[in-house]
């Protein structure tokens, strides 16, 4: 039977399972995807986990349900794999805030410094970066940088400021931010805490420092999920991050009350519009057509991979060497 005829009689989920087998593909999904996408995925995780999984898994085709920079990281680390995305327009405001020319001009002002760049950035920006970080390995990476080296941190100024303060390390910050996390309101969070005095406030470090000051736990999506999973003494959590994470939190702790931290105004702004561009239909279509693919120009990829490789090496406890200066040819 032709694929289109099968499609009309099968549920979308079973179509995806059949296509996965046919293509010898794995589906990786970020915690911010809709629950139905997380449920068809082989692995669900934070941005570090997805990059590592893409590298370790042997399947020749990886479909990444997340945003494009995440798929680009998988492609950079595993150039031999076919990397598919459900929607190639699924960007990220941090990538938009750090166009290559602007990042390069900023980087060139401090040639003696080491550029530490959040993975939420383009491959071009990674190519002028000394080491990448994710929110789950950033502390380890920064602690591995010699104390006498100046640090440039971009493009997320909130994550950068949080790390500077926590690690007592001066940094020069690039002025980018996540359009979703900056909308959480400190004033409303303060009021919500009064209504839920026993709740633990857990927040992603992309939130503004006015919000982070009220957080009991600050960490990457995986860290926030672990807190809900493992802190059984706490029955109520106020969660300051994108609402896709609630899917795994509810599964892990059906007994807990999970309250979304409020945003300014009355919008449903705690949804990432880019993550939410993906859906099951687009996943099925991508597996069927093997499009859209994420490809990075091989010359650019060679340069960009250096900063990701350094990140992976430090994450795995290996020592690395650092360039003395930024040389721009």
Binding site for ligand SF4 (CB under 6 A): 67, 92-94, 120, 178-181, 206, 242, 272, 274-275
| 220 is an interface residue for ligand 13P by CB under 6 A | yes
122 binds, among ligand 13P, ligand SF4, none (CB under 5 to 8 A by kind): none
Query: Would you count residue 130 as binding ligand 13P (CB under 6 A)?
Result: no
Q: What is the C-alpha separation between 314 and 25, in angstroms, rounded? A: 29
Residue 220's binding partner among ligand 13P, ligand SF4, none (Cβ under 5 to 8 angstroms by kind) is ligand 13P
User: Two tokens at 177?
Assistant: 């931010």
If one asks whether residue 158 binds ligand 13P (CB under 6 A), the answer comes out as no
Is 178 near ligand 13P (CB under 6 A)? yes
Q: How far is the CB of 229 from ligand 13P (least distance, A)?
A: 15
Instruction: Rank residues 19 and 218 by Cβ distance to ligand SF4 and give the closer one.
Output: 218
How many residues lie near ligand 13P (CB under 6 A)?
11
Return the closest-CA partner of residue 94 out of 70, 128, 115. 70
Of 179, 186, 182, 128, nearest to 154 by C-alpha is 128
Under 8 Å between Cβ of 221 and 249:
no
Nearest distance, CB of residue 90 and ligand 13P, angstroms: 11
Binding partner of 93, given ligand SF4, ligand 13P, none, CB within 5-8 angstroms per partner class: ligand SF4
**Which span (54-62, 132-140, 141-149, 318-326) binds ligand 13P, by CB under 6 A?**
132-140
Which of 131-139, 147-155, 247-255, 281-289 is the region at the interface with ligand 13P (rule: CB under 6 A)? 131-139
Give me 186's structure tokens: 């400190």
Give the one residue of 38, 98, 129, 221 binding ligand 13P; rule: CB under 6 A.
221
Q: Are 201 and 287 in contact (CB under 8 A)?
A: no
Query: If contact means CB under 5 to 8 A according to the sort of partner, which of ligand 13P, ligand SF4, none does residue 179 touch?
Result: ligand SF4
Strand order in the sheet with 61-65: 43-45, 25-30, 61-65, 82-84
- Nearer to ligand 13P by Cβ, of 113 and 133: the residue is 133
CB of 40 to ligand SF4, least distance (A): 20
Q: Which of ligand 13P, ligand SF4, none binds 116 (CB below 5-8 Å, type-dependent)?
A: none
Report how far residue 277's alpha carbon sits from residue 146's, in angstroms, rounded to the nearest whole number. 41
Residue of 39, 92, 76 lying closest to 275 (CA atoms): 92
Judged by CB under 6 A, the chain residues 5 through 64 that form the site for ligand 13P are 46-47
Among residues 202, 109, 106, which one has the least CA distance to residue 155? 106
242 Cβ contact partners less than 8 Å away, ≥ 6 residues apart? 31, 32, 180, 181, 204, 221, 270, 271, 272, 275
C-beta of residue 290 within 8 angstroms of C-beta of residue 61: yes
CA atoms within 13 A on the CB side of 43: 20
Residues that bind ligand 13P (CB under 6 A): 46-47, 120, 134-136, 178, 204, 206, 220-221
């Amino acid at each position: 039977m032709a694929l289109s005829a099968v499609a009309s009689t099968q549920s979308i989920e079973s179509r995806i399972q059949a296509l996965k087998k046919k293509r010898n593909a794995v589906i990786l999904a970020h915690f911010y995807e809709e629950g139905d996408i997380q449920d068809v995925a082989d692995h669900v995780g934070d941005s570090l986990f997805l990059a590592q999984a893409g590298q370790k898994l042997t399947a020749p085709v990886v479909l990444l349900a997340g945003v494009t920079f995440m798929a680009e990281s998988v492609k950079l680390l595993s150039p031999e794999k076919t990397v598919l995305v459900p929607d190639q327009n699924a960007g990220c405001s941090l990538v938009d805030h750090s166009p290559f020319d602007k990042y390069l001009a900023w980087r060139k002002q401090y040639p003696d410094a080491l550029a530490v760049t959040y993975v939420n950035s383009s491959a071009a920006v990674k190519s002028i970066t000394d080491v990448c970080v994710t929110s789950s390995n950033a502390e380890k990476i920064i602690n591995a940088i010699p104390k006498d080296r100046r640090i440039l941190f971009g493009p997320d100024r909130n994550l950068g400021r949080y790390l500077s303060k926590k690690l007592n390390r001066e940094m020069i910050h690039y002025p980018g931010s996540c359009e979703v996390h900056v909308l959480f309101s400190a004033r409303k969070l303060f009021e919500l805490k009064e209504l839920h005095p026993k709740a633990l406030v857990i927040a992603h470090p992309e939130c503004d420092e006015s919000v982070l000051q009220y957080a009991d736990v600050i960490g990457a999506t995986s860290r926030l999920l672990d807190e809900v999973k493992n802190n059984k003494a706490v029955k109520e959590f106020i969660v300051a991050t994108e609402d896709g994470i609630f899917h795994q939190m509810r599964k892990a702790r059906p007994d807990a009350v999970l309250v979304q931290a409020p945003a300014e105004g009355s919008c449903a702004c705690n949804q990432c519009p880019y993550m939410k561009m993906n859906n099951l239909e687009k996943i099925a279509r991508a597996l069927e057509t093997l499009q859209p693919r994420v490809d990075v120009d091989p010359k650019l990829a060679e340069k960009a991979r250096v900063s990701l490789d350094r990140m992976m090496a430090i994450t795995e406890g290996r020592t690395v060497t650092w360039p003395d200066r930024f040389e721009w040819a």
